[in-house]
């Protein structure tokens, strides 16, 4: 089948062809994507109320002022990853109903009854099931796609299937490279520039440690990652949590997914320092956030070890001390990756509404510096922390 771009009418026609809806007459369709990377249609049977999401990749990315071609191969990656996730963490990702790699489209579960976690968090919404759900997501995905569980040859085919050059390149550049010098693609708060020029970009020791983390991102084919696990890739409400947008999936260092989500929670934690809100509310929300970080990591670790005890296959991993070595590696690197993603959201290309919602640029700058300096501490000292509570205690002691 030849690729063609859908519009609302064509999307309805396409869906009817698939047989996923019984009657065409009752369908309605709405395009809700931002149009930069993908088209996203919600298609609904107005009689039965049944609805689905159709996502189609566009063959380019539009970024500020330039055209950036991007192969639609990312839809194949996303569909492949959704298939694995639906086996290993059913109920924590959208169900996949249909894929068409030629058309670069997938049809999946409509999750519009949930809200984007990032938007909830800038409104101090709490997600009481989040740490339980995400720790399961991480423990299952990262254990059951690693050499601990997957047969040696199947693992190599997993690596091969998820080779994802274009999207990995984005991460390599935007997270691990551009923020450490005056790169053209950086998106810099003018009030922050002087700090970057006079202080941040002179931190060679920091850049060195980030380059070591980049080395692992480039080379360490440990587990199948989501690859972009931040609060903007999660739909949630009080009871449900769903991870989506998994087009960055590839086999990489397990710690990257863990660190990315933690870093994004810490960004939100610090962002309140720049906002005029009731201090009691801030304090309460911050307690919730650090509890969430602690819970998330502790539960992840416990569930991962439970998987290990139940399902470990590699005889080499049974030797005394190996589990400690393995878990320690993930912890140390996760702390480092948390720092790296905090930094990239301050003055790299893509920001967070958590901080960019602070309209006063001086106030925003102060928050950005707080975040940059905390991130630096995490990265430089990552091998000196022992538990996640060392991290949350440090954050609480420094910013409250």
Stretch that binds a second copy, among 115-123, 155-163, 296-304, 349-357 (CB under 8 A): 155-163
| Distance (Å, whole) CA 272 – CA 399 | 10
Stretch (H or E) spanning 115:
strand 115-116
Q: Which residues make beta-bridge pairs with 39?
A: 56
Does 312 engage in binding with a second copy (CB under 8 A)? Answer: no
Does 165 engage in binding with a second copy (CB under 8 A)? Answer: yes
Binding string, 323-362, against a second copy, x = CB under 8 A? Answer: --xx------------------------------------
Does 218 engage in binding with a second copy (CB under 8 A)? Answer: yes
| Distance (Å, whole) CA 338 – CA 392 | 12
Candidate list 194, 208, 361, 383; residue touching a second copy; CB under 8 A = 208
Residue 110 is labelled as binding a ligand:
yes
Does 68 engage in binding with a second copy (CB under 8 A)? Answer: no
Does 155 engage in binding with a second copy (CB under 8 A)? Answer: yes
What are the tokens at 221? 């084919």
Does 67 engage in binding with a second copy (CB under 8 A)? Answer: no
At which residue do the structure tokens 């993930």 appear? Answer: 330
Stretch (H or E) spanning 77:
helix 73-88
Evaluate whether 61 touches 68 at the Cβ level (below 8 Å). Answer: yes
Output 72-76 pairs: Cβ under 8 A, ≥24 positions apart.
72/3, 72/104, 73/164, 73/166, 74/164, 74/166, 74/167, 74/247, 75/99, 75/101, 75/104, 75/105, 75/106, 75/247, 76/101, 76/104
Binding string, 131-150, against a second copy, x = CB under 8 A? Answer: ----------------x---
Candidate list 2, 67, 123, 152; residue touching a second copy; CB under 8 A = 152
Annotated binding site for ATP: 38, 55, 109-111
**Residues binding a second copy (CB under 8 A):** 147, 152-153, 155-157, 159-160, 163-166, 168-169, 172, 176-177, 180-181, 204-205, 207-208, 210-212, 214-215, 218-222, 315-317, 319-322, 325-326
């Amino acid at each position: 089948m030849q690729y063609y771009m859908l519009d609302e009418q064509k999307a309805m026609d396409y869906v009817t062809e698939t047989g996923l809806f019984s009657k065409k007459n009752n369908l309605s369709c709405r395009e809700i994507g931002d149009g930069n990377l993908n088209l996203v249609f919600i298609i609904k049977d107005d009689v039965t109320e049944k609805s689905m999401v159709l996502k189609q990749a566009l063959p380019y990315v539009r970024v500020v002022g330039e055209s950036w071609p991007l192969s639609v191969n990312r839809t194949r990656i996303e569909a492949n990853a959704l298939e694995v996730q639906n086996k290993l963490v059913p109920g924590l990702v959208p169900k996949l109903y249909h894929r068409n790699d030629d058309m670069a489209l997938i049809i999946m579960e409509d999750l519009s009854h949930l809200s984007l976690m990032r938007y909830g968090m800038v409104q101090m919404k709490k997600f009481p099931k989040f740490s339980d759900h995400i720790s399961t997501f991480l423990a299952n995905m990262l254990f059951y796609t690693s050499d601990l569980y997957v047969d040696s040859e199947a693992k190599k085919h997993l690596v091969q299937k998820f080779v994802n050059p274009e999207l990995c390149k984005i991460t390599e550049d935007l997270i691990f490279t551009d923020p450490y010098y005056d790169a053209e693609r950086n998106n810099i708060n003018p009030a922050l520039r002087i700090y970057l020029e006079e202080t941040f970009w002179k931190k060679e020791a920091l850049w060195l440690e980030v380059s070591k983390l980049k080395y692992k991102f480039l080379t360490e084919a440990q587990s199948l990652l989501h690859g972009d696990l931040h609060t903007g890739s999660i739909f949630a409400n009080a009871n449900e949590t769903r991870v989506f947008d998994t087009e960055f999936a590839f086999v990489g260092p397990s710690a990257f997914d863990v660190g990315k989500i933690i870093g994004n929670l810490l960004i939100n934690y610090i962002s309140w320092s720049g906002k005029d809100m009731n201090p009691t509310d801030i304090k309460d929300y911050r307690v919730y956030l650090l509890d969430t970080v602690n819970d998330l990591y502790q539960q992840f670790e416990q569930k991962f070890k439970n998987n290990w005890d139940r399902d470990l296959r590699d005889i080499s991993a049974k030797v005394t001390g190996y589990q400690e070595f393995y878990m320690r590696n993930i912890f140390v690197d996760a702390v480092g990756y948390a720092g790296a993603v905090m930094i990239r959201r301050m003055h790299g290309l893509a920001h967070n509404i958590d901080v960019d919602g602070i309209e006063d640029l001086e106030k925003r700058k102060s928050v950005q510096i707080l975040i940059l300096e905390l991130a630096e501490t995490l990265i430089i000292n990552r091998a000196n922390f022992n538990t996640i509570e060392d991290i949350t205690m440090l954050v609480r002691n420094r910013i409250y």
